[in-house]
Amino acid sequence: MKMKYLITIHFFLFLFLIGIFTCCKKPKENIYENYSWISEIRDDHPRLFFNKKSFKQIKNRALNDEHELFREMKSRVDLMIGQKIEFTDPLVPDGTQNADHMYGTRAAEAAFVYLVSEDEKYLDLSKEILIKLVDYYTLRNENNLNIQWYAFSRINALAAYDWIYNDLTEKERTGIGNPLLHAINEMLSTDRGSVFRKNYGDIKTGFYGPPYLPWYAGIVFHKTGIDDSLSTKLLQKGYDDHTALLKYRSNISGDDGGAASAVLGYCMGAYPWAEYNFFHTFSSATGLDLSQEWPYIPKFINYIFWNWLPGDKLFGYGDANHRDNNLPLRYLHIHLSQMIHFYGKTQPELISLAKWMQTKVQRQAQNTFPFTRFLLTNTCDEIKPQGPSENLPGANHFENMGQLFMRSGSGPDDTYALFTAGGILTQHRHYDNNNFVIFKNGFLTLDAGTRPQPGLHLSHYYARTVAHNCITIKMPGEIMPDYWDSGPALSEKEVPVFPNDGGQNNMMGSEVIAFDEKEEYVYIASDATESYHQDKAKLVLRQFVFLPPDHFVILDRVSSTKPEYKKRWLLHTAAEPMVNTSEFYTDHRGGRLFCKTLFPENAELKKIGGPGKQFWSDGRNWALPELTPDDWNYNSMRWLDNNHDLFGQWRIEVTPGKSNTDDIFLHLLQVGDSSLQSMANSIPLKTDDMVGVRFVHEKKEYEVMFFVKDKAGGKISITQNGQKILEENFSDKVKHN
């Protein structure tokens, strides 16, 4: 009995001590904070993109599922065996203008082939390239020259060194590694002064220039004995910068998806490498899957979908070059594959949509990181492709991107529109608040201009309000804001003062104050007053109504501080518009647009464009430059053509017949295919406090009215066969999708 009692006492004492220990124990520290993850970095090499353990599966993938890709890589490397490593023009002003920098990528390919084949001739080639490459980097640093706009090939050079590290002698490790580490560090220096065409882009851009490098250099040289203090400093900076980038992009993505720029050539091209490569290398170095801390990435699929026009086209927003308005699909398949690799197990619904999207594009070769597909061992074959729901809304508002997309359906003959307002981004954005683009069988309204580099056209016309379907208010003497440029071509004279186009001076000065989407219509109200100089604009309010499938009603209320400040309503077209009093039509490819000015009642319609006036602003034509071989970017700009239809060849300007402080512009637009002979019959409507339009189309009578005093808003009614099928006021709220 006594023994049983003692056992019981000891048992409860044991539980009591366990409880005290548990209560006093500090909570486990988050491995991703305070650089705790550094202790997880493996001591051995390789550790960049893969490690000894993961390489077995990666090698198997290279020899089997991706054997054709590996064969192509090996063939490229084989062609270099026995050849002299030569740099064609090591002191060229811009390293982007030749392929010398690509030796970094070739070194990585040779190293990878060596690890797979174990043939030492590839090891020797990788070493030889790296030895020559660090001399090249040092030479260009000493002459204050860039390596290349993108840092990708330098990351590949670091990978090559890491991958062959085990097969280098101590002398070789130091002889190659020491100048490589310090050359990379020198590229990060802000004490070098101005470096021509050096990419200083930070986390709010694509993050693919020299600021991208610290993480990779830090991982490779961690505890190698080659300046451990510097490598730790770079490692921590690289982690901090990438974490800040992920936070920034996660915030932009919001509920709907998005990217650090709304220009698809960027966000579907080079931008995603920063995220995916960080995930790959963090995992290979530490064994930790950081990607799951950032679940926003797959939502990007939603954003791509709403941008996708028939024929694989895009709207041409922002700094798109408008050369063909083709979707930049080259990297989409590989980026979707990376999305599948990282998120297949945790977000299967979005990944099924990613797999569906992959069926719409071709798998294309890419030499940015040519080994990437070997890394993608999580193919999630159990997830099958599944397209988007057939019950899609008629519009989607991407609040952070500052864009509202509309569509009548998803077919080749449907109507698609983009409205630009609000948002939190300025990256590659223009002065185009309240702009709209309409596509139906062609670009029926478009953003005008393109982006020559060099050339005044980019900064003096293309990015300005005058090149968009917006309102301008001309205040004499206004100094217009700067916009990024690469200077004039050699054939042009410097023009330091930007033309006064009467446009906006603030990219961020608009707010979507109402948005509603229903089966019968889409309604947007956007106040862009603060986009304009406060000394000239008291109100610039646009209300935009899409009536699927083919009609738009647009009201603009504009108040200037002085009546003599001339107001213009602009609409840009690819082909010459045919004007008849208050109405015009224009064609593009298989589509046709009709537009009728209902107010002001005494409006004047002016057609501007054609050869010598396509890009007219402030009294001159800002034509595309005639580049010569002496211009720094001559070879990349040979596609420039002043007469290209998608650069916008014409525009209509609507102005009031007399000067007023307050003006109202009301337009009815109808789109169709080229067989459309005339637009719907319509009549303007006006009361003491409202204006609007009534028109009939396909046995339905539409009446759309807007307030013209005080608040935004209005009402809509639709009648069919004498019966009202819809009658309601426009919402004054912003609907969330």
SS (H, E, C) 420-443: ECCCCCCCCCCCCCCEEEEECCCE
CA distance 238 to 49: 15
3-class secondary-structure state, position 279: helix
- The reported pLDDT for the residue numbered 13 is 44
Q: Could you give the CA distance from residue 157 to residue 187 in angstroms, rounded to a whole number?
A: 14
Strand partners, 443: 439
- DSSP class of 291: G
Distance (Å, whole) CA 345 – CA 119: 37
> What is the rounded distance in angstroms from the CA atom of residue 240 to the CA atom of residue 218?
12
Chain centroid to CA 514: how far?
25
User: Nearest CA to 130 among 98, 149, 153, 97?
Assistant: 153
Report how far residue 34's alpha carbon sits from residue 429's, in angstroms, rounded to the nearest whole number. 36
What's the rounded Cα separation, in Å, for the pair 692 and 324? Answer: 37
> What's the rounded Cα separation, in Å, for the pair 467 and 437?
12
Calculate the CA 471 to chain-centre distance: 25
Q: How high is the mean pLDDT of the chain?
A: 95
Class of residue 34 by CB neighbours under 10 A (exposed 0-12, middle 13-18, buried 19+): exposed
**Per-residue pLDDT at 27:** 52
Give the mean pLDDT per block of 10 residues along the chain (737 residues). Answer: 44 44 54 96 98 98 98 98 96 96 98 98 98 98 97 98 98 98 95 89 95 98 98 98 98 96 97 98 98 98 98 98 97 98 97 97 95 98 94 96 98 98 97 98 98 97 98 98 92 94 98 98 98 98 98 98 98 98 97 98 97 98 96 94 97 97 98 97 97 96 96 97 96 94
From its phi and psi, is residue 329 left (phi > 0), alpha (psi between -120 and 50) or beta? alpha
Using one digit for the tens of pLDDT, what is the confidence trace for 543-554? 999 999 999 999
Interacting residues of 700 by C-beta distance below 8 A, sequence separation 6+ = 718, 719, 720, 725
Query: Rounded distance, CA 293 to CA 244, Å?
Result: 13
- 387 phi and psi angles, rounded to 5 deg: -75, 175
Phi, psi for 76 (deg, rounded to 5): -60, -40
Contact (Cβ atoms closer than 8 angstroms) between residue 558 and residue 663: yes
Can you give the pTM of this predicted structure? 0.94
Q: How far apart are the first and last CA of the chain?
A: 72
Instruction: Quote the pLDDT of residue 557.
Output: 98
Q: Please give the helix or strand (H or E) that residue 128 lies within, else none.
A: helix 120-142
- What per-residue confidence (pLDDT) applies to 23? 44
Q: Are strands 650-655 and 403-407 parallel, antiparallel or unpaired?
A: unpaired
Beta strands 566-573 and 650-655: pairing type? Answer: antiparallel
What gap in Å lies between CA 484 and CA 463, rounded to an integer?
A: 9
CA angle, residues 501, 503, 509, in degrees to nearest 5: 160
The distance between the two most distant Cα atoms of the chain, rounded to a whole number of Å, is: 112
Return the CA Rg of the chain.
Answer: 30
Domains of the chain by start residue, with CATH:
37-285 (1.50.10.100), 405-677 (2.70.98.70)
- What distance in Å separates the CA atoms of residue 223 and residue 214, rounded to the nearest whole number? 15
Cβ(506)–Cβ(485) below 8 Å: no
pLDDT at residue 28, rounded to an integer = 59
Give me the residue label for tokens 């590949």: 156
For residue range 72-113, list pLDDT tens digits in order.
999 999 999 999 999 999 999 999 999 999 999 999 999 999
The closest alpha carbon to 328, from 395, 391, 261, 419, belongs to: 261
H/E stretch holding 514: strand 511-517
Helix 152-164 and helix 170-188, axial crossing angle in degrees, nearest 10: 160
Complete edge-to-edge strand list for the sheet that includes strand 723-729 = 682-686, 690-697, 700-707, 714-720, 723-729
- Measured between alpha carbons, how far is 418 from 320 in angstroms, rounded to an integer? 15
Q: Are 664 and 555 in contact (CB under 8 A)?
A: yes
Residue 716, helix vs strand vs coil: strand
Determine the Cα–Cα distance for residues 586 and 595; give it in Å rounded to an integer: 9
Tell me the C-alpha distance between 285 and 81, whole Å.
31
206 closest CA partner among 497, 427, 4: 427
Can you tell me the distance from the alpha carbon of 294 to that of 286, in angstroms, rounded to the nearest whole number?
17
Can you tell me which residue has the tokens 């990666």?
58
170-188 helix and 228-253 helix, angle to the nearest 10 degrees: 50
Using CA atoms, how far apart are residues 275 and 260, in angstroms rounded to an integer? 12
User: What are the beta bridge partners of residue 726?
Assistant: 718
